[in-house]
Structure 1
Amino acid sequence: MNRPLIIVQPRLPLRDPHDCTDANDELAIYEAVFDTLIRRKGTGFVPRLAESWTVSDDAKDWVFKLRAGVRFHDGSPCDAASVCLSLLRMARPDKGYALGSPGVWRQYLGGARVTAPDDRTVSISLATPMADLLDVLVQGYIAAPASLGDLDAGITGRPTGTGPYRVTHADSAALELVRVPDHFSATPAHQHIQIRLVPDAGQRLSMLQEAAADVATSLDYHASQSLSAPRFTRVETTVPVAIIYLLNAAKGPLADARLRRALNLALDRQALIDTVVGGAARPLLGFVSPMHFGAGGGAALPQDLTAAKALLTDAGYADGLTLSLDCPTRLPDEAEKLTAALGAQLAKIGITLDIQLHSDREAYAHMVRRKEIGDLCVFDSSPLSTFRVLHEKIDARVKGAWWQGYHNADVESLLDAARTTPNEITRAALFQEAYAEMQRDPPWLTLYNPIRVTGLRGDHPGFALPVDGVLNIAGLPGMEDA
C-alpha cells in the first residue's frame, strides 16, 4: 500500500487528553499517540509505561516501576518526574472535564501525594483507599512536559506523547500519523495513518466499499450488512455504554422503591431494541454491562405486567400515575423515539409520561447534574469501571454529579469493602453482591448496550475491538493485499 492507511470516522476530536471522555473516536487517537502506565485487557490490566506495580494492603499506596529508555516524540526522556507532571495535571480541578461535570479525576487523585522517588519509580499515596485506581489511570495519558504549556493555552493540535504513532499534521478535516520506530509495545503494521472526518455514515460505508478508505467506524447497523468476506470484514462490538433512564429517588413517586421496581418489571427490553434501534443493541441486564469487572450474572428483571401493576397498587397508585420525563433531542440520538416507545410500554400498567424535550444537550447535562430533573430522564452511563459507576452515580454519601437521590445502605457497605480490597477475586465478588442487590432495588431504568459496527477492507478473521469498543489503531492488521 503506497498511500497511508485511511480511517474514516464521524468525529475528529483532538482535545486536551487530561479531560474525561468516553468518545471512541477521540480515545482511539489518544491510544495511538499517548501511553498510560497500564492498559486495559478484558476486565483486567497489563503493563504499558509501567512494567510492574504494587499496592498496599489497604489500597492507599501504589508504586509503579517504569520501563527504561522510553522517550517522548520530541526526544525528551519519559522519566518518573514527567509522569508525575501529567498525573498531577490530570487531577487539577479545571481538568477531567466531561459534559456537564468538571473535575472527574480530582475526586480520585485530589489530595494524593504523587512523587518520583527515582527516575523509574512513581509513587501515588491516595487520600482515600481505592483498590480500583487502575480504572482511572487507564485514561491517565502521559504527555511530554514541553507540551503542557500548549495544552494549558488550549492548543491541542500538537499532541506529544510516547505512543506508537506521532502526529505530523492536524486540522479540522484530517489527522496525519506516522509510526514511531522501535516502540516498546510492538511495531504497528502501517507506517502512515490518515484519519479523516466523514460525518455521514452512508458516505463512510461508500468510501470503504470503493476502496477510498481502509477502515470505517460507527457504520449503520443494517446498511453495513452488505460488507462480506473476502473483500471486507464487518465487526460488531457490544459497547459498555449503558442507555438508561435516571430515576428521581430523592423526591416524588420514584422515591418509593416499589415504583422503581415496577417500572423495570414493565419493560420488554428486546422489543424496545427492535423498535428503536432496529436490533442494534443488547439488553442491559443490570446497572453495569457484562463487560464490567465484577458484573453479576443472570437475567434482568423479566417483564411481568401483573407484578408491576401489583406494586403500583401497593404503593397507592391503583388508578394509574403520571410521571414527568426529561428527554434530550440528542445523545442518545434516539432519545425521542426511545421515550415514545417507553411510553407505549408503561401505558400497559397505567403509567402516563409527561415529556419535556431539551434541545441544548450541554444545558440538559447541567440540569441533570444540578438534580433538577422531573421524575426520570434519558441518560447514559459510560465508565468501564464498576467502582466509578457506584461512586459517581449510586453512593448517596458522595452525591456525585449524576446521583439522583438513590440510597441503599447494603450497596454502600459493599462499595466500602471493595474500596479497600486489592484482591481481584474478592473484590469482584463484592461487586457481584452489589449487582444482585440492585436487581432487587434498582436505582435506574436500565435498557440496553448499543452495538457499534466497524468495517475493514479485506478479510481479517478473528479481528475484534477491545472490550471498551475503542479502535486500536496500532493493532490494525496489514491491508496491502486487501
Structure 2
Amino acid sequence: MITIALEKVDFLPADRVTDDASILTLKNLVMEPMLRWENGAPRPGLFDRWSLSEDGCRWTLTLREGAAYHDGSAVAAEDAKCFIEAICDARDMFGMPWSYARYLEGASFEASGATLEIMTPKPFPDLPDILSEFYLPKLDGAGQPTLGTGPWQVKDFDRGRSVTLGDAAGRSLRFLAIAGAGERLSALRAGDVQLATHLERLETPARSLEGYAWHEQATTMSVIAYMNGSEGAFSDPALRLAANLAIDRARLIDEVMGGLGVPARTIVSPFHNGMSPELAAIPFDPEGAARLVGESSEKREIVLRTPLYMPERAPETAAFIRDCLQAVGFSVSIDIAEDRPGYARELGEKRTGDLAIFDSSPHSTFRVLDDKISSRSRAVWWQGVEDPLVDALFEEARRSVDPQTRTGLYGGILAHLGANPHWLYLYHPIDCMARKPGLEGFSLDPKGILRVA
C-alpha cells in the first residue's frame, strides 16, 4: 500500500463545490466529472459524447456505456439532471453563492436513459466548462457521498483523518490528512508516507528535496489584487496601468515566493482558453508608472487590503506591493484582515478598499470574465471597472458556437485586458510535491490535483 499525505481528507455533500486541491484529488480518483477539462477544452468524462445545436441553445450529452456506481447500480442521466438542479443553490466554502444559478437561469433539463438535454434561453457554448466542475456521487450506506464511477473505490473512510482506496488491479492507496506542510514533509522524511503534496506551502520555500524526487507544476490560479474601479485612485485607467507597471513581478516571485510562480500577463493563466504564448508580458517600468501617477488628478492615497493566507504569503506580498507603489508616487497603507471567510464576503460586497489581494481559481475563461470582469453581468466579484469594449467582445464570444471563433475572441479580450488592466496582475503559483525515489505514476495537473496513472 502507498501512503500519501494530503492537506485535507473529505468527501463533500453533492451540493458543495470546492476548488480545494486535496478534496479534488479524491474526487478525481473516486468520481468522474461530467466532462473533463484540459488546457481550455472539454474532454470525455462521465459523459463521453456531446453536441450543441446550431443555435447554441440545446446541448445533448450521452453517458459512457456501462457507467455504474461502485455499488453496481447503473448511472442514469436523471441522476445528472437532479444534481445540476440542486447545485444551482450551492454555496462555496465561505458561504458565498456560486454563479451556476445565474449561468443556467431559465434553463430546462430533460433526461431519458443515458441522454441528458440542456436547453438554455440564449446560446451557451461554454457550458462544458461548467460541467467539468460537477462530480456525480452517490450516498453509501452510512449516508456519505463516497460512491462514484471512477477507477478507485473507497474501502475505508475516516472523515477528516484518512481514506483508503482500491482499484480493479488490486492496488491500494491510503491518504492521510496532515494539515501543515512542514508536518507533511516530516512524515515523508520519517517514512510514514511515501508522497507528500502541497509543499509549496512550507514556511521557507523549497525547489528540491535531497534524497527524494521533487515535482513542480505551474497552476491555473491567478494571484491578483482587485482594484476598486468605482471610486478613488483606480477609477482612473491610467493609474490602474501605472500600478501594474510599478510591480517587478520577477523579483516578487523570487524574493517572496522563493521562485514558485509564473508572472501574470492578464486575468488568467497560460492554460486558459484564449491564452497565447505570444501575449505580451507586462513590463516593469517604474519610470513610466511614475509619469502616469504624476499626470493623474486622482488621489494617490491607497488602502491595500490583505488576508493572512489564501493566497500564500499574502502579507509579505502586500508589503512588496506597497514598496513598489510608493516608489512611483502612491501613498499606501496596509489593512490586514484576520477573518479570511469574512474578508471574502466583504470583497463580494464591494468593500475592497482601493486594492485587495485575492486569488482567482476558475479554470474557465468564460467564468472569470462573467464573474469578475463583465460590467453587464455585475456579478459578485466585479469591482466596478466599466470597459465597453470588453463587454461587447465578451457578449460576442459567449454566444459564438464555433470553438475556434470563440477562442480567438477570448484571446482578443485577454490581450486587451493585459494592456488595459482591471486588476493588479501578480503571478500564477507553482505547486510542489515530493515522493520516495522509485515511486512512479504520480503527477500534478494545472489545477494542483494529484493524478495517479
Q: What do the CA deviations read for 1:228-281 (whole angstroms, capped 9, x no partner)?
A: 5xxx32110011111100000011121110110110011101111122111111
- What is the correspondence of 1:173-212 to structure 2 with a 5 Å cutoff? 173-181=160-168, 191-212=171-192
Per the alignment, residue 151 of structure 2 pairs with: 164
| Counterpart code for 2:198 | S
How far off is 1:222 after superposition?
A: 4.3
Of 374, 383, 402, the residue aligned with 1:404 is 383
Per the alignment, residue 257 of structure 2 pairs with: 277
Q: What do the CA deviations read for 1:131-157 (whole angstroms, capped 9, x no partner)?
A: 11111101111123x66x98xxxx6x4
Q: What do the CA deviations read for 1:77-122 (whole angstroms, capped 9, x no partner)?
A: 101112212222222x2x1434352133212233321111x31111
Per the alignment, residue 480 of structure 1 pairs with: none
Per the alignment, residue 428 of structure 2 pairs with: 449
- What is the correspondence of 1:22-61 to structure 2 with a 5 Å cutoff? 22-61=19-58
- C-alpha spacing 1:15/1:427, structure 2 compared with 1 (3 Å): same
Of 99, 107, 110, the residue aligned with 1:104 is 99
The 8 Å contact of residues 72 and 162 in structure 1, kept in 2 or not, is answered as: yes
Structure 1 Cα separation of the partners of residues 442 and 2 of structure 2: 17
Per the alignment, residue 342 of structure 1 pairs with: 321
What TM-score results when the alignment is normalised by the length of structure 2?
0.93
Structure 2 Cα separation of the partners of residues 223 and 381 of structure 1: 24
| Counterpart code for 2:282 | L
The 8 Å contact of residues 17 and 30 in structure 1, kept in 2 or not, is answered as: no
The 8 Å contact of residues 222 and 269 in structure 2, kept in 1 or not, is answered as: yes
Query: What percentage of aligned pairs have identical amino acids?
Result: 31
SS at match of 1:142: coil
- What is the correspondence of 1:167-316 to structure 2 with a 5 Å cutoff? 167-181=154-168, 191-219=171-199, 220=202, 222-223=205-206, 225-227=208-210, 232-296=212-276, 297-316=278-297
- C-alpha spacing 1:177/1:104, structure 2 compared with 1 (3 Å): farther
Q: What do the CA deviations read for 1:139-198 (whole angstroms, capped 9, x no partner)?
A: 111123x66x98xxxx6x4422212222233224433233353xxxxx6xx622211011
Structure 2 Cα separation of the partners of residues 23 and 260 of structure 1: 30
The 8 Å contact of residues 175 and 195 in structure 1, kept in 2 or not, is answered as: yes
Per the alignment, residue 83 of structure 2 pairs with: 86
The 8 Å contact of residues 176 and 192 in structure 1, kept in 2 or not, is answered as: no
The 8 Å contact of residues 156 and 165 in structure 2, kept in 1 or not, is answered as: no
SS at match of 1:177: strand
The 8 Å contact of residues 143 and 160 in structure 1, kept in 2 or not, is answered as: yes
Does 2:303 align with 1:324?
A: yes
State which drifts further: 39-48 or 257-266.
39-48
SS at match of 2:265: coil
Does 2:130 align with 1:127?
A: no
The 8 Å contact of residues 42 and 466 in structure 1, kept in 2 or not, is answered as: no
Q: What do the CA deviations read for 1:2-55 (whole angstroms, capped 9, x no partner)?
A: xx2211022224322432321111111111121222212333222122221101
- What is the correspondence of 1:353-372 to structure 2 with a 5 Å cutoff? 353-372=332-351
| Counterpart code for 1:178 | L
Does 2:72 align with 1:75?
A: yes
| Counterpart code for 2:18 | T
The 8 Å contact of residues 18 and 140 in structure 1, kept in 2 or not, is answered as: no
Instruction: Report the aligned-residue RMSD.
Output: 2.2
| Counterpart code for 2:434 | G
Per the alignment, residue 113 of structure 1 pairs with: 108
Of 417, 420, 426, the residue aligned with 1:438 is 417
Which segments of 5 or more consecutive residues in structure 1 lack a partner in the other structure?
182-186, 476-482
- C-alpha spacing 1:140/1:208, structure 2 compared with 1 (3 Å): same
What TM-score results when the alignment is normalised by the length of structure 1?
0.88
Q: What do the CA deviations read for 1:39-74 (whole angstroms, capped 9, x no partner)?
A: 123332221222211012232210011122221123
SS at match of 1:277: coil
Aligned length: 449
| Counterpart code for 2:272 | H
| Counterpart code for 2:103 | Y
SS at match of 2:244: helix
The 8 Å contact of residues 98 and 104 in structure 1, kept in 2 or not, is answered as: no
The 8 Å contact of residues 96 and 104 in structure 1, kept in 2 or not, is answered as: no
Of 50, 53, 63, the residue aligned with 2:60 is 63
How far off is 1:313 after superposition?
A: 2.0
